[in-house]
Structure 1
């Protein structure tokens, strides 16, 4: 094992135009080790980009479309915690193993938003938790707070609303991928004296927070998707998209989980 200063010194010599062979002879470090450091620099050797929200002039996270998708995932089925044994907070998004494509898409978006942080998975029964540790999580997701999301007010800040307005489909996609579904309903009707079965697709979004439901339906309104409330209960609220034209729009920009 080599310390950070040793690695930095070796990489600095290579950056000066020295060959791996000469740097290896001078430092006593194998060429294979130096080559691996070039290909996979550790986070500690990279200059970490400043937090978009902590800079002297705060800006929006980049890329904005990936952030809108991750924001939807977080509001749907994510949480931010700080275990006593860790110095930094962690974002955890629970994703069903039935949809490996969604897991891959979520991981790619999280890597785009946090390029300098390691992305990890924690196995659970029937699902995996996608996790990232960062001291800037509460900067980027100010909706974090004590207790469950449906037990406290949830509202977007102005800079978040600007992103969601610019990238509504990514936001909707994140919400559907976390707390939504696309199903096929059916009904039977008499036609020509015979009972025939008719099938039609429908999207559902279910959440216990009235504020998150409102954010979802506001985004649907913005992109021209018609919706209605369905199957309300004391513990959850459901939004249904069933009109043919609206389902077609959802299929074009969201699609079934995969």
Structure 2
């Protein structure tokens, strides 16, 4: 039938499913519970990590009124471990919902489908995140305060990196090369950068603005003790 109508096979399957659902012929199907609407337990560390990923490289799509919204996190092919961690967090936060990975050029979109995405991610809205106000709801802030490192880890794994910097210094008349690790977080949203730096302040991590081309979009962590803290709780992407 799909070949005869020249439509995707998945579309035929979706039509069949909707028809059976409308006639009540989908035994065992139920609407997954929501931590906000139904009081279901929430895996808070996984949620904080996923929230950080969403604020960096995620968005929520709703293609039509008949489809369930999906949360999509875009991960480059260079970090398969990040994709695994992202999907594991999605399954922990939405244990009854479907997840998948969609391959694109140079990256994969890790997705989870749920009718309650807007309940758990109220930062969703029209337009780009850096062009509108982004603030945590009081209940979200309570969770982030309880699991700040997971939130920072999600932000770094989305819009951050750990690199090795180097510099040349003259010591006793001899030029020597010194290398040191450094964390960067880059985001065009003033609000998201502030969420990141406020959390670092609470954790005792020293940071500085690193302005490039006149834009203060980069937050740097380079102090030895602070880098050691980040290494212990965040680490590089993999």
Report the TM-score, using the length of structure 1 for normalisation: 0.78
Alignment RMSD (CA, Å)? 2.1
Q: Are 1:45 and 2:34 an aligned pair?
A: no
Q: Which residue of 1 aligns with 2:158?
A: 178
Q: Which residue of 2 aligns with 1:134?
A: 114
Q: Which residue of 1 aligns with 2:147?
A: 167
> Where in structure 2 are there 5+ consecutive unaligned residues?
1-15, 18-25
Q: Are 1:143 and 2:123 an aligned pair?
A: yes
Cα pair distance change 1:199/1:139, threshold 3 Å:
same
* 4+ aligned runs moved over 4 Å, structure 1: 46-49, 232-236
Q: Are 1:54 and 2:37 an aligned pair?
A: yes
Q: Which residue of 2 aligns with 1:88?
A: 68
Q: Deviations over 1:92-118 (max 9, x none)?
A: 100111111111111101110011111
Q: Deviations over 1:33-75 (max 9, x none)?
A: xxxxxxxxxx9736554211113xxx58610000000000000
Contact 2:210–2:219 (CA under 8 A) maintained in structure 1: yes
Contact 1:209–1:236 (CA under 8 A) maintained in structure 2: no
What is the 5 A alignment of 1:1-258? Answer: 45=28, 48-55=31-38, 59=39, 62-84=42-64, 86-233=66-213, 237-258=217-238
For 2:113 and 2:213, the matched residues in 1 are separated by 35
For 2:27 and 2:103, the matched residues in 1 are separated by 27
Cα pair distance change 1:60/1:234, threshold 3 Å:
farther
Cα pair distance change 1:196/1:177, threshold 3 Å:
same
Contact 1:73–1:175 (CA under 8 A) maintained in structure 2: yes
The structure with the larger Rg is 1
Contact 2:32–2:97 (CA under 8 A) maintained in structure 1: no
Cα pair distance change 1:192/1:234, threshold 3 Å:
closer
User: Could you tell me how far 1:231 is from its partner in structure 2?
Assistant: 2.1
Contact 1:60–1:159 (CA under 8 A) maintained in structure 2: no
